[in-house]
Structures are given as C-alpha cells and as structure tokens.
C-alpha cells in the first residue's frame, strides 16, 4: 500500500516532518521543493508506505486541543 502525500510549509519544518515520517514509513521523494503559488513556503511531494522491518501496530494518544471548551452533546 502506497500513499501519496503533499507537504506544504517552511523548508526546515518539512525536513523535520520527513524525518518524523521516516521513523514509521518508507519515504520516497522529498528531494525537490516547489515554491507555493500565492503564499509563502514550499511544497514537497512524497510517497510513503508502512515499513516492513518494524511492527505495524502503533498507538497514538491525543489530547484535547481546547480543554476549557465544553463538549457538544448530540
């Protein structure tokens, strides 16, 4: 399974994200940055797929972004 990804931002932030993605995925591309049209920064195109040399299950815990806001009840 291969996923195509476009990253947009500042070059140093994109490099940090590629490094982070490389820990869990095989990453191809990212060697060429294109200037964003009409905004700041650059964009980079990647292809990623799960690494075969590591376990595939990885759990991520998230935190509430706005803990002071009340939950919306259905």
Provide the pLDDT for residue 5: 95
Cβ-based neighbour number of residue 12 at 10 Å: 8
67 bridge partner residues: none
From CA 72, how far away is CA 26, in angstroms rounded?
A: 39
Q: How many domains does one find in the chain? A: 1
Domain that includes residue 40, residue range: 3-46
From CA 52, how far away is CA 44, in angstroms rounded?
A: 24
Residue 37 lies in a domain: yes
Provide the pLDDT for residue 74: 59
Q: Is the pTM of this model over 0.75?
A: no
Residue 56 lies in a domain: no
Judged on CB neighbours under 10 Å (0-12, 13-18, 19+), 43 is: middle
Phi, psi of 38 (to 5 degrees): 80, 5
Per-residue pLDDT reduced to its tens digit, 13-58: 999 999 999 998 999 998 899 999 988 999 999 999 988 886 656 6
């Amino acid at each position: 399974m291969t996923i195509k990804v476009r990253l947009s931002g500042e070059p140093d932030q994109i490099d940090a994200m590629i490094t982070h993605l490389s820990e869990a995925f095989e990453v191809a591309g990212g060697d060429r940055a294109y200037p964003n049209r009409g905004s700041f920064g650059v964009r980079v195109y990647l292809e990623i797929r799960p690494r075969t040399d590591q376990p595939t299950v990885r759990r991520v815990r998230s935190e509430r972004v706005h803990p002071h806001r009340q939950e919306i009840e259905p």
